[in-house]
């Protein structure tokens, strides 16, 4: 069971501080989400397999590397959409598949309302994208959907994680790697992460 990978980097700390600040406007909030998503992608991709290819430079022929696996980005709607663009910039060959999940405010249980996963031909590696890993319910449901599709290598990328969500995801799916920028104190009685940053989706989309 892999331990959660926490990014301990000055840039991550600085951008995270801007996310937490309640006075940060949505435009800056979105930019900080993108920058942190890029740092998370760097953490999650250090062991991606590559193959050697021939490269012809303006001066001579040499060798290089290219990715040898199909990678799927799976944002959990709606907040996860804010993490797609920077990772797609880093890995332009990635496929993007959407999952619609939301947390019932009364029961705190996830509700699966939309899936764009095809019935066959799964990707080799899937990155589940969601700024917040709170109760872990939505993350577990997303991983279950990906496993049913046939994906065997799944990584969870979240900006902030709560211990409760980490425990739930690791208990249900111990082989899923978790990459996060910080592990916060825990959940309050409304199942929000504290100190957290509020509702990531509302702040990304200015709603």
Residues 14 and 6: their CA atoms lie apart, in Å, by: 15
Computed from CA positions of residues 103, 111, 145, 123, in that sequence, does the dihedral angle turn out positive or negative? Answer: negative
- Pick the catalytic residue from 21, 89, 171, 202: 202
Residues 80 and 139: their CA atoms lie apart, in Å, by: 11
- Pick the catalytic residue from 61, 107, 189, 207: 107
202 is catalytic: yes
Residues 135 and 187: beta-carbon distance below 8 Å: yes
- Pick the catalytic residue from 18, 20, 78, 199: 199
Residues 165 and 126: their CA atoms lie apart, in Å, by: 19
78 is catalytic: no
Residues 137 and 60: their CA atoms lie apart, in Å, by: 53
Instruction: Write the CA distances from 61 to 38, 52, 68, integer angstroms.
Output: 31, 13, 21
Close Cβ partners of 126 (under 8 Å, ≥ 6 residues apart): 71, 72, 73, 74, 97, 146, 151, 153, 154, 155
Residues 112 and 106: beta-carbon distance below 8 Å: no
62 is catalytic: no
- Pick the catalytic residue from 24, 45, 103, 124: 103
Which two three-digit tokens encode residue 90?
A: 């880093």
189 is catalytic: no
Kindly list the catalytic residues: 103, 107, 199, 202
């Amino acid at each position: 069971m892999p331990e959660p990978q926490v990014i301990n980097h000055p840039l991550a700390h600085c951008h995270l501080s801007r996310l937490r600040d309640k006075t940060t406007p949505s435009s800056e909030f979105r930019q900080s989400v993108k920058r942190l998503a890029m740092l998370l992608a760097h953490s999650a991709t250090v062991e991606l397999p590559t193959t050697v290819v021939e490269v012809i430079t303006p001066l001579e022929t040499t060798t290089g590397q290219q990715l040898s696996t199909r990678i799927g980005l799976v944002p959990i709607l709606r907040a996860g959409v804010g993490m797609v663009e920077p990772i797609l910039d880093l890995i332009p060959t990635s496929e993007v598949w959407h999952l619609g999940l939301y947390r019932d405010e009364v029961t705190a249980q996830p509700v699966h309302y939309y899936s764009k996963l095809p019935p066959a031909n799964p990707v080799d590696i899937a990155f589940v994208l969601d700024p917040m890993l709170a109760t872990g319910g939505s993350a577990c449901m997303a991983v279950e959907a990906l496993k049913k599709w046939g994906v065997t290598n799944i990584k969870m990328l979240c900006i902030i994680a709560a211990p409760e969500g980490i425990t739930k995801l690791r208990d249900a799916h111990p082989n899923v790697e978790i990459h996060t920028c910080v592990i916060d104190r825990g959940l309050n009685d409304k199942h929000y992460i504290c100190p957290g940053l509020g509702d990531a989706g509302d702040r990304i989309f200015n709603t």
